[in-house]
Amino acid sequence: MPTRRRALLVLLSLIVASAASLALAVAVGAVAVDWSSALSRQVVFELRLPRALAAFACGGLLALAGALMQVLLRNPLADPYVLGVSGGASVGALLAILLGLAGLAVPGLAFAGALAAMLLVFGIAHGDGSWTQTRLLLTGVVVAAGCGAVVALILTLAPEQKLQGMLFWLMGDLSQANQGLDPLALLAVLFVALAATLPFARELNLLARSFDAAMALGVAVPFLRRMIYVVASLATAIAVTTAGAIGFVGLIVPHLVRLAIGMNMGNDQRLLLPASVLAGGSLLVLADTLAHTIAAPVQLPVGVLTALIGVPVFLYLLGRR
Amino acid sequence: MILEARHLSVSIGTNRICRDLDIALGAGDRLAVLGRNGAGKSTLLATLAGLRPPDGGELRIDGQAYADLGLRAAARLRGWLGQDRGDAFASTVLETVLTGRHPHLSRWSWESPSDARIARAALADMNLAGMESRELRTLSGGERQRVAIAALLAQQTRLCLLDEPLAHLDLNHQIATLELLARRARTEGVACAMVLHDPNFALRFCDRALLLFGDGTHVAGPVAEVLNEESLSRLYGHPMRRVATTDFPGPLFVAR
């Protein structure tokens, strides 16, 4: 029996976990935290906290987008990148790096690429009005494959000194987060994305079961599908623009949350969406903290760590089913 | 009239399913829709449910067109049982039956204890008491069909449109389901239109029948008038015979 009480209990424990992950991210690093030292305060408030908040927002956006894509495609293996949004962003970002553009040009072109991919997939999949999930999935996968080819081409043509920057971008890396949106703006985007979808959570529960049955129960199916496509794509675009194509957060976090909640309410979007946001945010904060401390002073791209954690966890989950 | 169709034309692709179809269902009326595979029974039922537009004609639910009613109000008046059972994600039997309460809940409210009572009563009606916390995908096909019917019952609508409600059910549950629908029609005035494949069930549990011949023609009327050797033989493309026995009330139709 789904109850508000159970949902609030789960969310409360995740809020505590989120706060703990942020505190850890701020506390850990080459410089010890010492509130009496100006330098230490500067490190905490100007470097660590903004980076941790950006990581939290990106992780939350990716996990939310993943949960929404899984409903939209009615497929538990869907992730935020399956429809080509990150492919478009990668082409944009790598072009900017290749052309030697600096500053806002990299996130700017990445966002433009993500939007272009999103509109292309929507335009083609929606073309004849049928807009079935198979057609949508096929269009997205093909556009993603096309972007992959362009990315490979750029990597081949790029001069050697630009390769490392490109690879870091592709694997996902939060050290570039300070180039894009302010962390507080990112958190605001995350809040808006969640606030836009949460009122429709019970409708999403029905949509995840069957489109026709949802319609017979009074859900405005075409509107809702378009809305979650747009919200999930924009959330992905903003996260990818900020931190690169960080893998596996969007795929495994909703599944981790389902597993943790258990069967009763495990697929209730009223709980799954906010819980995924909190869990995705905390996971990326922890992964990023690990990424820049585990082999310090060498910084690992956080996307490598999320994938290294994500792949075995996901295979384990698949094996259990 | 809870359901009123006038001069309804329905087609899918280039296939004409029916033309100039008139249906009027009042409280407690039960209509059996019969026809061969691919004759368009499901498409007609989806049209009656407002899930796809008809090609022509008028369709009214409780005196109003679907467009004027709105999706939510429509969902409180008519329920629809489809053939597709989505199960991409895990869910419990109780959560599934509670989906029927969706049109009765406002945007921010959660299922109340009274919604849970209605859902549990629907489960008990479908002989599924005690299965509330089972995972849907661990159930057999017939049990899942009964869960879907329980969700429809929990929706508490005055009109039920059932596409093959007896699919996957064993004989015992086929009869129990039809008896339940007949009882609801008698005591609560719930009207039904259901796709059936057995003319004897139509004869016994419905008061009227609609025969879709698959070539755009149809016959509709009281079961005793519409169901006969000639119409059923034409309907199924197989000779059907009427048998009268002393130990069964009414005639029986058997395939030769």
Which value does ipTM take for this structure? 0.95
The CATH number given to whatever domain includes residue B111 is: 3.40.50.300
Residue of A nearest to B73 (CA): A218
Higher per-residue pLDDT: B156 or A165? B156
Name every residue whose Cβ is closer than 8 Å to that of residue A83 and which is 6 or more positions away in sequence: A69, A117, A118, A121, A136, A137, A139, A140, A141, A143, A144, A233
Domains in chain B: how many in total? 1
* Cα–Cα distance, A132 to A145 (Å, whole number): 20
Q: Which of residues 88-107 of B touch A (CB under 8 A)?
A: 88-92, 94-96, 98-100, 102-103, 105, 107
- Mean of all residue pLDDT scores within chain A: 89
All domains in chain A, ordered by first residue: 63-315 (1.10.3470.10)
Query: In whole angstroms, what is the distance from residue A95 CA to residue B13 CA?
Result: 46
Cβ pair A205:B79 closer than 8 A: no
Contact flag A199-B105 (C-beta cutoff 8 Å): no
pLDDT band for position A254 (cuts 50, 70, 90): very high
Confidence of residue A318 (pLDDT cuts 50, 70, 90): low
Inter-residue contact B109 to A96 (CB < 8 Å): no
Nearest residue on chain B to A271, judged by CA atoms? B110
Residue B186: partners with Cβ closer than 8 Å, 6 or more residues away:
B28
Q: What pLDDT, in 10s, does the model give residues A106-122?
A: 888 999 999 999 899 98
Contact A223, A211 (CB under 8 A): no
Burial of B167 (0-12, 13-18, 19+ CB in 10 A): middle
Q: What is the pLDDT of residue A305?
A: 87
Name the residue range of residue B22's domain: 3-255
A217:B99 CB<8 A:
yes
**Separation of alpha carbons A88 and A158, rounded Å:** 18
Dihedral of CA A17/A259/A9/A270: which sign? positive
Residues of A with CB under 8 A from a CB of B: 1-4, 70, 74-76, 199, 202-203, 205-206, 208-210, 212-213, 215-220, 258, 263-268, 270
Query: Helix, strand, or coil here: B152?
Result: helix
Is residue A31 within 8 A of residue A44, CB to CB? The reply is: no
Task: Convert the pLDDT of each residue in A19-47 to its tens digit.
Answer: 999 999 999 877 777 778 888 888 888 88
In the structure encoding, which two tokens stand for residue A263, read together?
A: 């069967």
Task: Using alpha carbons, select from A198, A204, A270 the residue that is nearest to residue A4.
Answer: A270
DSSP-derived secondary structure letter, A30? S
CA A314 to chain centroid, in Å, comes to: 16
Q: Is the pLDDT of residue A135 over 80?
A: yes
Q: Does residue B235 carry a pLDDT above 60?
A: yes
Task: Check CB contact under 8 Å for B103 and A217.
Answer: yes
Burial of A168 (0-12, 13-18, 19+ CB in 10 A): buried
pTM, full prediction: 0.93
pLDDT tier at A178, thresholds 50, 70, 90 = low
| Residues of B with Cβ-Cβ distance to A1 under 8 angstroms | 94, 98, 111, 116, 132
Which pLDDT tens digit goes with each residue over A55-99?
A: 999 999 999 999 999 999 998 888 898 889 999 999 999 999 999
Cα within 13 Å of Cα(B31), Cβ side: 28
> What per-residue confidence (pLDDT) applies to A177?
66
Question: Which of B210, B181, B194, B158 is CA-nearest to residue B81?
Answer: B194
Give residues with Cβ within 8 angstroms of B106, minimum separation 6: none
